[in-house]
């Protein structure tokens, strides 16, 4: 198990890869994140709300050992920070500047099976009135087309993070979070395009509407037509991860189990990876002492889970996690997350390469 620095700069706050996505092309892997400024007395997240966040990408060509950081080249639909409205002052929020004219129209269908295809989903806020959109890349995240608006489907708002399953040349299913009926975040659901992204249809809600929240779905397709989705859950002060299964093409969902009963103070999202031997891996951040990054393995398609694997337990405090994981051709995993060594130190992006 080896740890590597992806991006780190004194005085900066780099965070939340799970909000942006990871894309694997063999040993070439690209991950998205955002960079702002450190302010240690700001509360749960030590970021300076008076300064903007800027979306970045990091690329490795050697399976995660060395990284090059580049700016996200996609066009913002307004003035502000991409997928970070909740972390900046209102004057810097992108949601306040959006209109119907902010978005482009996708005029040609996307070939989702193109080996160099990637999609990034983005959003303004988290609850009532939040809008979401997507970008398309056909050159391994070097250039991006869009932004293309995701329909609201009659919800109070949609807060999209990047999670999708390519199911055909023109067929792709997206897993998103909607605001609940009371306007608060959130409830997971899925949509699908059958025409290369020109239009989308609502498929189903994933689970019942919670009194707390159920957000940030992470999906994986197993064999025999089964799709699994893990979600981040909160009720009161309790935070955990739930797993749902669909065997009828995302029309209905069955609660499977609770793979992680506690993700610590504030909670953390999961990510799912299907391994070469058919096992399933879940990675997530843990926000209670000892702060760090953890994983669990399932040998039976998610029905049961083995003991926790401690990837890291040396975090400075709870302000860490939000991982995304890519599978290398040699079967090793590259888990990327944000991290800190001490509460007053910069938040940085790190990667762990490990054998599941």
- The whole-number pLDDT of residue 164 equals 98
Q: Residue 258 phi/psi, 5° resolution?
A: -110, 95
Contact criterion met (CB below 8 Å) for 183 and 156 = yes
2-354 architecture in CATH?
6 Propeller (2.120)
Query: 193-226, pLDDT tens digit by residue?
Result: 999 999 999 999 999 999 999 999 999 999 778 9
Please give the DSSP secondary-structure letter assigned to residue 181: T
Q: Average pLDDT of the chain? A: 97
Cβ proximity of 281 and 331 under 8 Å: no
Strands 172-179 and 164-166: antiparallel
- pLDDT at residue 224, rounded to an integer: 73
3-state secondary structure of 55: strand
Residues β-bridged to residue 337: 350
Residue-wise pLDDT for 240-294, tens only, equals: 999 999 999 999 999 999 999 999 999 999 999 999 999 999 999 999 999 999 9
User: Looking up tokens 């070097």, which residue turns up?
Assistant: 142
- Reported as a single tens digit per residue, the pLDDT across 3-31 is 999 999 999 999 999 999 999 999 999 99
* Per-residue pLDDT at 100: 85
**How many whole angstroms separate alpha carbon 212 and alpha carbon 161?**
19
Residues 6+ apart with CB under 8 A from 11: 37, 38, 346
Separation of alpha carbons 174 and 31, rounded Å: 18
User: Whole-model pTM?
Assistant: 0.97
């Amino acid at each position: 198990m080896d740890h590597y620095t992806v991006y780190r700069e004194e005085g900066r706050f780099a965070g939340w890869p799970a909000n942006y996505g990871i894309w694997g092309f063999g040993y070439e892997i690209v991950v998205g994140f955002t960079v702002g400024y450190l302010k240690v007395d700001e509360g749960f997240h030590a970021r300076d709300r008076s300064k903007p966040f800027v979306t970045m990408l990091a690329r490795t060509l050697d399976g995660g050992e060395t990284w090059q950081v580049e700016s996200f080249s996609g066009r913002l639909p307004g003035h502000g920070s991409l997928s970070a409205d909740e972390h900046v002052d209102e004057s810097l929020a992108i949601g306040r500047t959006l209109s119907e004219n902010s978005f482009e129209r996708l005029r040609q269908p996307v070939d989702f099976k193109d080996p160099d295809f990637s999609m990034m989903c983005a959003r303004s806020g988290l609850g009532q009135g939040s809008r979401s959109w997507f970008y398309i890349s056909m050159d391994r995240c070097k250039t991006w087309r869009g932004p293309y608006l995701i329909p609201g489907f009659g919800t109070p708002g949609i807060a999209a993070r990047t999670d999708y399953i390519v199911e055909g040349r023109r067929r792709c299913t997206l897993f998103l979070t909607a605001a609940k009926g009371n306007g608060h975040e959130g409830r997971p659901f899925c949509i699908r395009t059958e025409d290369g992204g020109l239009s989308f249809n609502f498929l189903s809600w994933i689970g019942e509407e919670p009194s707390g929240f159920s957000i940030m779905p992470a999906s994986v397709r197993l064999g025999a037509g089964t799709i699994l989705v893990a979600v981040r859950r909160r009720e009161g002060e309790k935070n955990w991860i739930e797993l749902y299964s669909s065997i009828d093409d995302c029309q209905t969902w069955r609660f499977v189990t609770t793979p992680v009963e506690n993700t610590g103070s504030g909670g953390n999202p999961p990510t799912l990876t299907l391994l070469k031997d058919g096992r399933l891996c879940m990675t997530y951040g843990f926000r209670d002492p000892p702060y760090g990054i953890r994983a669990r393995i399932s040998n039976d398609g998610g029905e049961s889970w083995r003991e926790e694997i401690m990837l890291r337990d040396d975090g400075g405090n709870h302000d860490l996690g939000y991982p995304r994981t890519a599978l290398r051709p040699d079967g090793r995993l590259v888990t990327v997350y944000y991290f800190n060594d001490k509460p007053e130190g910069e938040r940085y992006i790190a990667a762990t390469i490990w054998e599941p």
